[in-house]
Amino acid sequence: MVKLPEGVFGLINEQNAAKVLGTKSAKGDVHIINVGGSGALDPETIFIGEIFMKVTGQNLHEAKKEGSKVSVLITKGYESYEIKASVKDHVTSGPVFEKFKGVFASKKFDLKGLWLLKPEEVWNQSPTFDAGKKMV
């Protein structure tokens, strides 16, 4: 079981940090999107809000079905981390979904679903001597 290190957990929950989600299509093509409505519920659960996802949504369903990983890159200033994760669930109802639906609505976004990801590996991608090192 992999838990996000404290600094990575803090950064993924920072609103001003850039977050990018990478998935692959059934054909193997890479697809990358900016995911502003994202963070971590706890050190073992990343959430990605589904607003306009079309290609990414299809790719996430495929990743869940085949058990492949997706990648989340979080960056702010000189701090940068890659989280390789598996798809845990896609929720469209329930207490967690309802909580976030209100948050997204306050920003004028219609939340269609929440993708829940399970961290599998965390890599330091900061431009330092630790660049490219696996953290957990």
Each residue of 62-82: pLDDT tens digit? Answer: 999 999 999 999 999 999 999
Residue by residue, DSSP assigns the chain as -----HHHHHHHT-TTSEEEEEEE-TT--EEEEE-SSEEEEETTEEEEEESS-SHHHHHHHHHHHHT-EEEEEEEETTEEEEEEEEEEEEESSSHHHHHHHHHHHHTT----EEEEEEEEEEEE-SSSTTTTEE--
Write out the residue range of the structural domain in which residue 80 sits.
6-127
Determine if the pTM surpasses 0.85.
Answer: yes
- Model confidence at 1, in pLDDT bands (50, 70, 90)? confident
In a domain, 55, yes or no: yes
Question: Is 105 among the domain residues?
Answer: yes
Q: Does residue 33 lie in a domain region?
A: yes
Q: What is the CATH number of the domain that holds 67?
A: 2.30.110.10
Residue 136 located in a structural domain: no
Q: Is residue 72 part of a domain?
A: yes
Mean pLDDT, range 104-133, rounded to an integer = 96
Number of domains in the chain: 1
